[in-house]
Amino acid sequence: MTHYDAIIIGAGAAGLMCALRAGQRGRSVLLLDHANYPGAKILISGGGRCNFTNVNTTPANFHSQNPHFCKSALSRFTPADFIEMVQNAGIDYHEKTLGQLFCDGSAQAILDMLLSECAAANVTVQCATKVTEITKEDHFTLHSTGSTYTTHSLVIATGGLSIPKLGATNFAYETAKKFDLRIVPPRPGLVPLTFAEPLASMMRDLAGVSTECIASHQKTKFREAMLFTHRGLSGPAILQISSVWQSGEIALNLAPDHNTTDFLLTAKKQKPKQELRTILSEILPQRLSQMFAQELDAQSTKIADLPDVTLKTLAQKLATWRLTPDGTEGFAKAEVTCGGIDTRDLSSRTMQANAVPGLFFIGEAVDVTGWLGGYNFQWAWASGWCAGEEI
């Protein structure tokens, strides 16, 4: 039986940050993971270049039943703090759109940096280790195949259910239930949406078409690209809105830079002999223009031959195309998990369970979900750092 000051289960982004920070404070730290190597999600993120933070991070970029919970952690460990780590490690990076930061090279550089910091802080990193039982008396006892460990500080950093092929499990939720913590039901986030027939057939015909749009659901809206797929809709705008959608309609503004009514009525006056699909292709991809013209049985109809009322109806549809998804592509394609450990049961400053001293939950396991674009990594760094300051 081996004792450590702190044991962290889950060697992903949050777990690594927590471990290195606790180690830097002189704590003896064991970092366990059931996978054969650490940081699997780090390595595939950002197309292999790791979208490691977003310079525009604010609490408003996160979804949670308690939108205030993330404020403390995000203020105590900021994007600038992580950027400083990256710069000190000599990692070259660049900013893409909307404040997203990516490595110039491979995501491996970020993982190597974190592992190097853990090694410098004397953290013991042990992979291919499955924890089979956790008990608590005056300390926590962890049982794994062939080994037993004890600690007074236990951190659960095993993430959510997204991307099961990388080893995602419900370990965090089962541990929370064991200690009577509440769970906000987990569901896929940042995930493509699917549709029933006949919409599904139409979307298959448009698969591969991408266009700028404003996607909205209730009071939430995002302006980015959307993509038609063989199963429905994807692309950044759709992934973003999927994290707030659970049922009902979404609305798509397919021409966010235009007053569509003015555009069509002006085109009717100025270009009366042009076909509707030709006019529409000025603001929409060609295949999408053909689809809307076909819906009106106006594939070859000159715009002058269409009544104003028909054009106004079409304009309204282009500005507010209402669609009802029948679901999502599930955890297999979800980038994150929405829901998780109920923040009412955790300290927003330390991530410690209010009713179970010494037990902490960090990262994706908690009911805090960031927007697409580096925000979830920033939550992992911040929540991990805060717990690492406490354990």
Residue 336 has pLDDT above 90, yes or no: yes
Average pLDDT over all residues of the chain: 97
Confidence class for position 132, pLDDT limits 50, 70, 90: very high
Residue 178 has pLDDT above 80, yes or no: yes
The stretch 15-30 carries a mean pLDDT of: 98
What secondary structure letter does DSSP report for 74?
A: H
Q: What domains does the chain contain, in order, with CATH numbers?
A: 2-188+337-390 (3.50.50.60), 193-255+323-328 (2.40.30.10), 267-316 (1.10.8.260)
265-288 tens-digit pLDDT? 999 999 999 999 999 999 999 999
The predicted pLDDT at position 261 comes to: 98
Confidence class for position 254, pLDDT limits 50, 70, 90: very high
Angle at 139 between CA 133 and CA 144, to 5 degrees: 25
Under 8 Å between Cβ of 100 and 378? no
Residue 336 backbone phi and psi in degrees, to 5: -145, 170
Percent of the chain with pLDDT over 90: 97
204-225 tens-digit pLDDT? 999 999 999 999 999 999 999 9
251-270: string of b/e by CB count within 10 Å (b at 16+)? bbbbbeebebbebbbebbee
Query: What pTM, to 2 d.p., does this model score?
Result: 0.95
